[in-house]
Structure 1
Amino acid sequence: MSEEVTWTQEKIESFQDDLLAWYHHEKRDLPWRESTDPYRVWVSEIMLQQTQVVTVIPYFNRFMEWFPTIEDLANAEEDKLLKAWEGLGYYSRVRNMQHAAKEMVETFDGKMPQTIEDILSLKGIGPYTGGAIGSIAFSLPEPAIDGNVMRVYSRLFCLSDDIALPKTRKVFDKYVRETMSQTEPGDFNQALMDLGATICTPTKPSCETCPIKHYCEAKKTDTASSYPVKKKKEKAKPLYYVADVIRNKTGAFLLEKRPEDGLLSNMWTFPMRDVTKEDYDRLVASYDSVEKKELQVAEQLSLYEEEKIDIKEKQLLGIVTHIFSHRKWHVLVVEDLLRDTDREMLEKQKWVYQEEFDQYVFPKPQQKMVDLLKKSMNN
């Protein structure tokens, strides 16, 4: 637990003035800052979770073009909604957004509510997003505490509390509330975001150019690199798959829609089967041991025995890895050429030509598999 540091009211006001003056002069030019429209603030803040600003900008612009109002978002078809989010990951975020939009249409006349209690009642909106919306759109003196803000304040006050622990947020909430601007809370929160993103960075912070260096305890003691304190994340659990890029005689590829529940729900991928690490390693070794990386039809691990798929040829496209929050996928990607296209389709399967891929919502692992396929076809 950190030793409590308190500031005089005069010091707090001086700190606010210096931080806000810097922000008003140096703030980043971002499309969602063109207005304080709560819908734009909400969409941008959800997109920015676990995603860099430069990545979010084109997604934000397209999203606002496709769904310009809360009502448009509430009424959007799921396929189009997921397509707008394709590549951002964490698809539950956009599903929660649509759920919240429907709540606003039903309960708040299609508008974002204006009290922090009502904002936080909406699905998918937690303290950080609620604080951002409340402060930026409605000038509510609510903190918006994310990783950037915790990094700034941990250095500002030399807070040694572990930021990986949920209970630590209360510590930072107290310090931010005591020092934040009551008259410009939105600009204050955005100033902290920008400061953490551009100056008070995780490594090699630019302390000499920092507008609040005279208030920073870590600067005084030359200990910025020691903050914030964060325990190491647990390693992601490894999972192993074989993905079959099945191509028929007409050149179409077999796509399969994932179940409605679970990870990457209702998204499209090449057919995938989970395998043990031992079988995965054996398959990798089999490809590596065969000249030209071609695999005999006998080495199929009975993946499609129950479907009676007549494989004419198999060859390795490559290996894809993808890390989710708590798991890591290892996917052996194999291309299969069928002898005969006449087969009974399983539920939620389609033959799709490559030029039609952009009409389907692909998760990031599938996009990586398609990249392997394109590379193979261009060679």
Structure 2
Amino acid sequence: MNFQEELCAWYKIHHRDLPFRQSRDPYAIWVSEIMAQQTRIDSMLPYYKRWMERWPTVEALAEAPIEDVLHVWQGLGYYNRARKLHAGAKVVVERYGGLLPADVEQLRTIPGIGFYTAGAIGSIAYGLRAPAVDGNVLRVTTRVLQYGEDITKKTTADYVWRQVYDWMEGSDPAVFTQAMMEIGALVCTPKNPQCLLCPLAPFCGAGQDGSWSQYPVKKKAKPPLELQLYTYWIENDRRQILLSDDWSDGLMEGLYRLPQAAAPLEQTDQLEYAGQRKHVFSHRVWKMECYRGQWDDQVQETLPEHCFWIAKDQLDTLPIVSAHRKWLDEGLAGETEASPDNPESVQISETSLTDPAETAGIEACQDSDASIMEKKKNKKKG
């Protein structure tokens, strides 16, 4: 058998039984591919299942409030993926009547759909000879061919795309595309690949001479930018916490956060130092100096811009940046342990300490409208 035949025969026997592989629905494939980007399959599966239960069609997603979309996505990270999925759904409804087009070039005009995603949708859903080159496919291809150019270069991406296109000839595009991804995920792994069990061993230069660790070649990434920030947990005597919707730093628009600034606030005499925290993003690191305390009514009349009060038992109804969500969860857990006989405290524990990954797609944001009304009321007062 040739390269394609060996690969596809292996896939038909050894592929994982994943829910999005049980359908050729282009929308389901689109959602699964976006979620799988920079996220392990076993981590994204619960999110995928809940997402499809809540928004089973493009039309349903297009009609959803963006705040609900971000809340369901909470925990997956890289929130721009969710925003573009939502924006893309609106375009598909308005421009294509709710059906993703069976044309790679048209697919690439939809927000959030680039070369890879267009190729995945085109080949898997519509059977088009359209390569989908992700990290797994890059790794397999460069090892097989012992291609030593930097994979971050456009010339390398073009070369691999053409090679995969040639390999697809005579095969079922849907099977071939998924087989390339699968063998990269299960056999031709970044570390400790199972070369002796690989069906592509007869065709693989790096596997035959043991040079697999040299491929793919990638230039060293720049270290992430470190930001020193001052983060504040401020609450009042009505069991409310101050949140902010200030997204002027360009990070995670649509996600709420605790008040935070690059310089310390002037009014900190009522706040206690709560330690240092660190959160690593893909290109930035937040080094947070944390303070916690209570403000009185006079201070509430002069709330900082973009800030609003929300009840503690409503925190789970809003999408909150994970760097701050973790601190909130830990702090509220401490309150519950300190007051085990307090019914209200127990209730807060049950809602705010539930892992968003377990409930994000099931629980609706019933109280979010009330939260926003509270926000608007306090802004008017300020």
Specify if TM > 0.5. yes
Structure 1 residues 40, 261: closer, same or farther in 2, change over 3 A? farther
| Alpha-carbon contact 1:20-1:187 (below 8 Å) kept | yes
SS of structure 2 residue aligned to 1:269:
coil
Partner Cα separation in structure 2 for residue 116 and residue 261 of structure 1: 34
The answer on 1:14 being equivalent to 2:14 is no
Contact 1:27 1:194 in 2 (8 A): yes
Letter in 2 for 1:77: P
From the superposition, tell whether residues 329 and 166 of structure 1 become closer, same or farther in structure 2 (CA, over 3 Å): farther
Gaps of 5+ in 1: 1-12, 276-300
**Aligned residue identity for 1:358:** D
Q: Does 1:353 align with 2:311?
A: yes
Correspondent of 2:88 among 74, 86, 100: 100
Aligned residues: 336
| 1:327 and 2:284 matched | yes
Whole-angstrom CA distance in 2 between matches of 1:156 and 1:181: 18
Would you say the 8 A contact 1:248–1:341 is kept in 2?
no
- Which residue of structure 2 aligns with residue 201 of structure 1? 189
What is the Cα deviation at residue 337 of structure 1?
2.6
Show the 5 A alignment for 1:198-277.
198-259=186-247, 262-275=250-263
1:87 paired residue among 67, 75, 82? 75
Counterpart Cα distance in 2 of 1:109 and 1:313: 54
335-344 or 234-243, which deviates more: 335-344
Pick the aligned partner of 2:321 from 363, 367, 372.
Answer: 363
Distance of aligned partners of 1:182 and 1:99 in 2 relative to their CA distance in 1, 3 Å threshold = farther
Q: TM-score, normalised by structure 1?
A: 0.84
- TM-score after normalising by structure 2: 0.83
Contact residue 144 and residue 189 of structure 1 kept, 8 A: yes
What amino acid maps onto 2:284 in structure 1?
R
Structure 1 residues 256-265 or 92-101, which shifts more? 256-265
Indicate how the Cα distance of structure 1 residues 335 and 116 shifts in structure 2: closer, same or farther if over 3 A, else same: same
How far residue 360 of structure 1 moved from its aligned partner, in angstroms, is 0.7
CA distance in 2, matches of 1:208, 1:342: 68
Aligned to 2:178: 190
Whether the 8 Å contact between 1:258 and 1:266 is mirrored in structure 2 is: no
In the TM superposition, residue 52 of structure 1 has moved relative to its aligned partner by 0.8
Amino acid of the residue matched to residue 167 of structure 1? T
Kindly state the Cα deviation for residue 342 of structure 1 after the two structures are TM-superposed: 5.8
Provide the C-alpha distance between the structure 1 equivalents of 2:333 and 2:317, rounded to a whole number of angstroms.
21
SS in 2 for 1:161: coil
> Deviation digits for residues 182-235 of structure 1, max 9, x if unmatched?
441111111111111111110111111111111111111111111111111000
Amino acid at match of 1:89: G
Match of 1:320, SS? Answer: strand
The letter for the 2-side match of 1:107 is R
**What amino acid is aligned across from residue 216 of structure 1 in structure 2?**
C
Deviation track 1:329-372 (CA, whole Å, cap 9, x = no partner) reads 11122211335576213444232233211101112212222244
Is the CA contact 1:158–1:217 (under 8 Å) kept in the aligned structure 2? yes
User: Secondary structure of 2:30's match?
Assistant: helix
Task: Indicate the residue corresponding to 2:345 in structure 1.
Answer: none
Q: Say whether 1:55 aligns with 2:43.
A: yes
Partner Cα separation in structure 2 for residue 332 and residue 261 of structure 1: 18
* Paired residue secondary structure (2:101): coil
Further displaced range: 368-377 or 98-107: 368-377
Please tell me the residue identity of whatever aligns with 1:362. I
Give the Cα–Cα distance (whole angstroms) in 2 for the partners of residues 353 and 321 of structure 1: 26
Deviation at 1:111, TM superposition (A): 0.5
Alignment partner, residue 111 of structure 1: 99
Q: 1:260 to 1:77 in 2, by over 3 A?
A: farther
- For residue 100 of structure 1, report the CA deviation from its aligned partner: 1.6
- CA deviation profile, 1:148-203 (whole Å, cap 9, x unmatched): 10100111010101112233100111211111244411111111111111111101
Provide the secondary structure at the position in 1 that maps to 2:234.
strand
- Give the residue type in structure 2 aligned to 1:93: R
